[in-house]
Amino acid sequence: MKTLIIIKPDAVQRGLIGEIIGRFEKIGKILGLKLLLMDKERAQRLYSVHEGKPFYDELVDYITSGPVVVGVLDGENIIKIAREILGATNPENAVAGTIRGDFGLDVGKNTVHGSDSVKSAEYEIPIFFSENELVDR
Ligand code: IDP
Ligand code: MG
């Protein structure tokens, strides 16, 4: 099973890439990893399920505001496990010891993304990685 993780601009800006990758590395196998600046079209594809919601424009503006690190993690039950270490969407509700609990700034600048289902992962991963960029050996 695979999931897409994203280290969002607030975390990259604060020098948290290493800390956060370290946490992901403990729960799964990294098959792909890259730093990039998302353009608006890619951000809109990633967040298409949120189109029409009040925070959608803010969300797209934010995720394109600075570099992000995108990665693919592999492992048994990895989608659920990664969501657990992400913590609640709103850092105010995220438990200490989770990434958002420890580093999240607000519901928008909440430090990390993780696919929420197999269907989402299968949609999100190809937005950032072609099949031959995923190394599984
Ligand atoms: P998730 O990232 O925990 O899966 P979603 O509900 O899928 O949360 O929302 C996607 C992203 O949109 C969140 O990570 C967060 O950054 C942003 N977001 C969600 N709800 C709000 C809101 O009420 N205001 C501003 N941003 C929001
Ligand atoms: Mg989500």
């995923």: which residue's tokens? 134
| CA 116–ligand 2 middle distance (angstroms) | 6
């600046």: which residue's tokens? 37
pLDDT, one tens digit per residue, over 39-76 is 999 999 999 999 999 999 999 999 999 999 999 999 99
Name the region of 111 (left: φ>0; alpha: ψ -120 to 50; beta: rest).
left
Q: Is 38 in the pocket of ligand 1 (CB under 6 A)?
A: no
Which of 3, 110, 119, 124 is the pocket-test mutation for ligand 1 (most atoms within 8 Å of CB)?
110
Q: Is 8 in the pocket of ligand 1 (CB under 6 A)?
A: no
Q: Which pTM was predicted?
A: 0.98
| CA 86–ligand 2 middle distance (angstroms) | 11
| 2-129 CATH choice from 3.50.50.60, 3.20.19.10, 3.30.70.141, 3.30.1280.10 | 3.30.70.141
SS (H, E, C) 99-126: HHHHHCCCCCCCCEEECCCHHHHHHHHH
- Do residues 111 and 104 touch, judged by C-beta distance below 8 A? yes
